[in-house]
Amino acid sequence: MSDNTMAAGTAPAPAPAPAQAAVSTSANSTTFAVILSLSFCHLLNDMMQSLVPALYPILKDSYALSFGQIGLITLAFQCTASMLQPVVGMYTDRNPQPYSLMVGMGFTLVGLLLMSQANTYPLILLAAALIGMGSSVFHPEASRVARMAAGGRYGLAQSLFQVGGNMGSAAGPLLAAFIVVPAGQQSIVWFSAAAFVAMAVLFQVGGWYSRRRAESRRAASKPVARGKTGTATAAASPLSRRRVTVAIAILVALLFSKNVYSASLGSYFTFYLIAKFGVEVQTAQIYLFAFLVGIVAGTIAGGIVGDKVGRIPVMWFSIVGALPFALMLPHASLFWTGVLAVAVAMIMASAFSAILVYAQELLPGRVGLVAGMFFGFSFGLGGLGAAALGQLADLTSIETVYKVTPFLLLLGLLTAFLPRQPGEPKNLR
């Protein structure tokens, strides 16, 4: 797709007004249908992916795995699900692939089938890596299409897209508690049907994406821009390259701190509840489901508020608000542990769409790269953190992990060094 199309929401469009109006009308007529389709597929994608950590208690018992080995499964999954995303994003910025979304889902399908039959630790690692590979293809291109269909409401569009993934992540542990735990590892094969459904929907989305790119090229009346974004970038981002680089590094650090803490809850929360309070696996999965529902609520609220008051205020709220609850959580009773975990989830999740849209405005025309970095690379760093936390739990205890990780949120104070975007209210800095 054209880089000019990506910058349209942040800079004056270079194409003639009548042509742009025609494209805008076409886009707006399908905006929510496309975004909701992507959100639905994001739900299915992340539901299937969330089965991997939801399986950890079963795999640990069945194959006598250590916490360190559990962490390595997370690392294998995150390396393909996350670390590859910036590479995919950079490639598709230059060579958009409308139907790659459907192909990527095929990797997830193969991974699920293998995971249901895996009977050795290496095969489990391979299955997790294949499931993650589907995600690495899905997220950059899906985020690009969501921005195309946003109609200028980028925070809302990204929130709606992201909340589908959050809902899928929340559904995974619940499905694991009531289907996978009673029926066993082989029941994973039943979820392959979700991959087929997603592939059918993404085929239709790919068709819309292809037509939309053709309309954009005609409206701009010039070839698709490749590589740097030229005047559109300059108009949308008056900051120097150095300041943009520093800002991107800060945003990655913010997501790293949040994602490592989220990984500590997502990967080890069930073990923590079982070890500290002696609850059953199914009860622990329900608590994990409540935590993930909190992420859904926070994501929606953060996107809406960010469009109205600016991105930086939402980031500050996410930092200042989550830290006290995270510090109290290791010292709470079972009931209050659940309450605090949901509160932390809601507050931390509120900043995700704000961070992503802020980064897209820093690098207009590089939506795939931005999505790859923030859906992918930063989450991959979270996976590395999860592996390290598993080793820490083996050396000390799982409770120690929850006493140490809240201090990572202090990295959020780096928000003070982010430059204010043009048009963002100064009094909300």
The CA-based angle 190-206-214, given to 5 degrees, is: 180
Report the candidate in 337, 354, 193 with the shortest Cα–Cα distance to residue 275: 337
pTM of the model: 0.64
Which CATH number covers residue 249? 1.20.1250.20
Per-residue tokens: 203: 């085929």
The number of residues making up the chain comes to 429
pLDDT in tens, the chain (429 residues): 433 333 333 344 444 444 444 444 444 444 788 888 999 999 999 888 878 877 888 888 888 888 888 888 888 887 787 778 888 888 878 887 788 888 889 899 999 999 888 888 999 999 999 998 888 888 888 888 888 887 777 777 888 888 888 788 777 767 777 787 787 778 888 888 899 999 999 999 888 888 887 777 777 655 444 444 333 333 445 678 888 888 888 888 888 888 788 777 777 888 889 989 999 888 888 888 888 788 878 888 887 787 778 778 888 888 778 999 999 999 999 999 999 999 998 898 888 788 888 887 888 877 777 877 776 666 666 667 777 888 888 888 888 888 888 888 888 888 888 887 655 544 444
> What single-letter DSSP state applies at residue 82?
I
The CA-based angle 396-402-408, given to 5 degrees, is: 110
Number of domains into which the chain is organized: 1
Residue 270's pLDDT is 85
Q: What is the Cα–Cα distance from 4 to 11, expressed in whole angstroms?
A: 9
Kindly list the distances between the CA atom of residue 306 and the CA atoms of 5, 84, 148, 156, 364, in Å, as whole numbers in the listed order: 22, 28, 19, 8, 18
Q: Are 157 and 150 in contact (CB under 8 A)?
A: yes
Q: What is the Cα–Cα distance from 106 to 133, expressed in whole angstroms?
A: 10
Residue 245's pLDDT is 87
Q: Are 281 and 57 in contact (CB under 8 A)?
A: yes
Domain with 42 in it: 3-428
Q: What is the Cα–Cα distance from 226 to 156, expressed in whole angstroms?
A: 28
Residue 398's pLDDT is 85
